[in-house]
Amino acid sequence: MEHDMKEKNNTLKPYTIAIDGPTGAGKSTLAREIAKRRALTYIDTGAMYRAIGLYVLRRGIHSEDVGSIIQLLPEIELSITHKEDGQHIYLNGEDVSDEIRTPEASIYASNVSKIPEVRAFLLNAQRQLAAQGNTVMDGRDIGTVILPDAEVKIFLTASPEVRALRRHNELIAKGMQSTYEDVLEDLIWRDKNDSTRSTAPLKQAEDAVVLDTTGLDFEEAVAKADEIITSKLSGRK
């Protein structure tokens, strides 16, 4: 299947694929695989918010202390590199790709992402990255705010229980302490927090296609996503 998904005409106008959805839906994993098979640039915007949240956490500042968080922004420098094992996010020169995935960092990421100044801090950088070529980007407001003109928009979701189990297994595989119950509780909290925030809330773009992976394995989810992408890009000039 991989060779069928490769771009055959590099003279076409660059396009963007926006993948949104709740935490633990598998957005990053799916986006990375799509990027690999279609030879696209992958941008994990959630990692950027997580890195900022991690910095705030390390500085001992409460995740809802908006004023103090805004004052920290000039101290933060983020960069993204792509290696054989995927995207790596650097916080002031330190690779924090694993540390940003802990439940505590997730809570901080969700809270700092509600702050308009934080979102503005990252918005231009995200759009500039997407403008550099064929791109797949995932997050919670990609199709609604970051890339409203994206050629393909997918809203990826699954039941809370399935999402929590996937995230729990991911943390265990990385050697991090985790319980399914804690991950599920954190996930349900984040769903509510992300969908009710006043700034760029999690919601499905009107022209997005819903992809529910509750009963799908990974290859089935990738195949469904490929069908959506191929359909949306057919006839593109």
User: Do the Cβ atoms of 52 and 118 come closer than 8 Å?
Assistant: yes
User: Do the Cβ atoms of 235 and 12 come closer than 8 Å?
Assistant: no
State whether CATH 3.40.640.10 applies to domain 15-232: no
How much is the pTM?
Answer: 0.74
Crossing angle of the two packed helices 45-58 and 27-38, in degrees rounded to 10: 130
Burial of 117 per CB tally in 10 Å (0-12, 13-18, 19+): middle
Q: pLDDT digits over 37-91, tens only?
A: 998 988 888 889 999 999 999 999 999 999 999 999 999 998 888 777 777 899 9
Domain map (residue ranges) of the chain:
15-232
d(CA 30, CA 48): 18
Query: Residue type at 200?
Result: A
Rg (CA), the chain: 17
Q: pLDDT digits over 200-220, tens only?
A: 788 899 999 999 999 999 999
Burial of 43 per CB tally in 10 Å (0-12, 13-18, 19+): buried
Q: pLDDT digits over 143-179, tens only?
A: 999 999 999 999 999 999 999 999 899 889 888 888 9
CB 179: neighbour CB atoms within 10 A? 12
Give every CB contact of residue 112 below 8 A, 6+ residues apart in sequence: 49, 52, 53, 56, 63, 69, 118
Q: Is the pLDDT of residue 2 over 70?
A: no
State the average pLDDT for the chain: 89
